[in-house]
A and B are shown apart, each in its own frame.
Chain A
Amino acid sequence: MTFAPLAKLQIQEPGGSQSCESLQRFCPDWIVENIDRYWTPLLQHVYLTIVPLALGFAISMALAILAHRRRWLTGPVITVTGIFFAVPSIAAFFLLQPITGLGYTTAMVALVSYTLLIIFRNITTGLRNVPAETRDAAIGQGLTERQVLFRVELPMAIPEIMAGLRVASSTTVGLAALAVYAGAGGLGAEILTDKHFKSNVVVAGGLAVLLAAAFDLLFLGVQRLITPWQRARA
């Protein structure tokens, strides 16, 4: 395509949005007019991110606490979650369909399994980075193992845990765009519906990027709020 015929076509059909869609071009006007049709997919996408993150966090936390008590569990957990992580997501969505059918469940199972390695590893690292002397001082003052974990080790691991959540949220936003193959909708469904129409792809893709950025900022904000000691320097 050259510039001249395009310009001609636009003049012939001043209908604006119609011509933009049929030409599959990128035009801001069309985006402004049609932005409303993206809200539902965006909400679906938020849902496809938050739920797997929450579930993944809960499962990873339970596994990490278990592995903190029984160190030998750490290796096997990393191996298994590592395998989950390595399965191509598209393959996972298709492989799970015979078991969980088409829809949210399939998408959730796959998305949760991707968060496990990242979050588990970060919680474990955070707990291990607590200096031995801090633990020793805690036990020496009469804290029980449980109190050491909840009052000292986990709070001190917050920066690493939040870092894990941030990576996991970006990853999940990205992977949730493929959940359309599991029949779960989301922004990926919009992209796939009209994948050659640039305006559509840019809006849907752009919203996913903004969503990832929003999650990142949210976690960063929460982290700053709950770790005031990190900002305190002499």
Chain B
Amino acid sequence: MSTAEPLEFRAATKRYPGSATPAVDQLSLEVPAGEICVLVGPSGCGKTTAMRMVNRMIDITEGDILLGGRSVRDRKPEDLRRNIGYVIQQIGLFPHRTIGENVATVPSLLGWDKARTAARVEELLELIGLEAEMRDRYPSQLSGGQRQRVGVARALAVDPPVMLMDEPFGAIDPINRERLQNEFLRLQAELRKTIVFVTHDIDEAIKMGDRIAVLQTGGKLAQYAPPAELLMYPASRFVEDFVGSDRALKRLALQRVRDIDLWTAAKIRVGTPVAEARAAIDEADVSIAMLVDEKGRPQGWLSDRALAGERVTDDRRSPAHPILELDDILRDALANLLSTETRYGAVVDSNGALAGILSLEVIQHFLQAAPTASLTGADLLGE
């Protein structure tokens, strides 16, 4: 249903008269169709300028930008803009128009008939989770989060192949921002638009981007890579500083527990012959055994006394706590592990059965290895 086109910056440069350094300097990068490219960097790095060159809100001085293989310079600015979704931080809804009319802005410019427009507006309001009766309200009657959703719906009105988003969640409070980000990623998983997303917040960049372009002052591209790669191999001192000294932790935010090699622990049930239990313990990565019930659910760590007789008795040294899930984000699992006194976290599958053991060593080992697959924030949302 949805269309997307690749976008390419070809040595795109913006120079302002009277300024010694360019605002955007020979920016070259390709955004494959259907991916989110985040432009991130400190203020004055030219990220917004670069984005605005795509729909010619700012004209390119040298170089070119190709949209679906066609130069944006060959198209009338108004026509170009009507086919590029545009979302800005302050949203910029028209206060004198109803929500429905706001969403229908571009359809009305393109001369869609009433029925088609009304049907599309209805569809879009449903897509962003706004009740149908909101259509006749005015922007001042909506909350900030609702207004931002309407801004997104408006940008999607004519199903444009490309969207530009300039700090779209920047003015939203942290809790709602997180929600809107997740909502948008789910939407994008469905729509698969080519998106240029501008932010100054590296965490947002890591979360939202399929690829991240880090720009530095003077409009120079410092690095262009998927999030995990950017965190693992910063190309320069600048990128390293920009992503922050906690970049290892940030990588954990991009992984789930299931993505890493967990340790094994012996799963022992009460009444198992001790010899059998000891053999299982010897084979496992962890030197202590987990007592499990008939369904394999962890009950607690076995004490030495439990193994003193012929058969294993119910004697635990400590409860099976924390219990982690395979789908937990690694960063959250680590936080869980750190907040308890145990060295080992029992990881369970969706049935609650023990699937493996997470430890600080496991995480450390993972961080030292190269990224296996370049996961993105969006991948972590799909379910």
Contact = CB atoms under 8 A, between A and B. Distances in A.
B142 A141 contact: no
Given A143-B109, A233-B140, A134 B94 contact: yes
Contacts of B138: 228-229, 232
B295 interface: no
Interface in B90-111: 90-97, 105-106, 109
Contact of A142 (B79, B91, B95): B79
Contacts of A137: 86, 88, 91-94
A142 B88 CA distance: 14
B285 interface: no
Nearest to A139: B57
A149 interface: no
A156 B95 contact: yes
A141 B57 contact: no
A227 to B, nearest CB: 7
Given A144-B78, A232-B138, A234-B140, A131 B96 contact: no
A227 B57 CA distance: 30
Interface in A137-158: 137-144, 147, 152, 155-156, 158
Interface string A111-143: 000000000000000000001011111111111
A155 B93 contact: no
A142 B92 contact: no
Contacts of B92: 131, 133-138, 140
Nearest to B139: A229
A141 B154 contact: yes
B30 to A, nearest CB: 23
Interface string B39-76: 00000000000000001010000000000000000000
A229 B96 contact: yes
A77 B78 CA distance: 32
Contacts of B247: none
Contacts of B97: 229
Contacts of A229: 95-97, 138, 140
Contacts of B141: 232-234
B82 interface: yes
A59 B115 CA distance: 40
A142 B110 CA distance: 10
B317 interface: no
A158 B94 CA distance: 14
Interface residues of A, number: 24
A133 B164 CA distance: 15
Contact of B86 (A140, A147, A155, A156): A140
A137 B94 CA distance: 9
B147 to A, nearest CB: 11
A137 B148 CA distance: 13
A142 B93 contact: no
Contacts of B137: 232
A140 B78 CA distance: 8
A234 to B, nearest CB: 4
A233 B142 CA distance: 9
Interface in B141-181: 141-143, 154, 164
B44 to A, nearest CB: 19
Contacts of B95: 134, 156, 229
A152 B94 contact: yes
Nearest to B78: A142
Contacts of A140: 55, 57, 81, 86, 88, 92, 164
A131 B90 contact: yes
Contacts of B88: 133, 136-137, 140
Nearest to A231: B138
A234 B143 CA distance: 9
Given A141-B105, A227-B96, A133 B140 contact: no
A131 B143 CA distance: 19
Nearest to B142: A234
Contacts of B81: 139-142
Interface of A: 131, 133-144, 147, 152, 155-156, 158, 227-229, 232-234
The 5 closest A-B pairs by CB, nearest first: A137-B92, A142-B82, A133-B90, A142-B81, A140-B86
Interface of B: 55, 57, 77-83, 86, 88-97, 105-106, 109, 137-138, 140-143, 154, 164
15 contacts: A131-B92, A133-B92, A136-B57, A136-B92, A137-B88, A137-B94, A140-B92, A141-B81, A142-B77, A142-B82, A144-B78, A156-B95, A158-B96, A229-B96, A233-B140
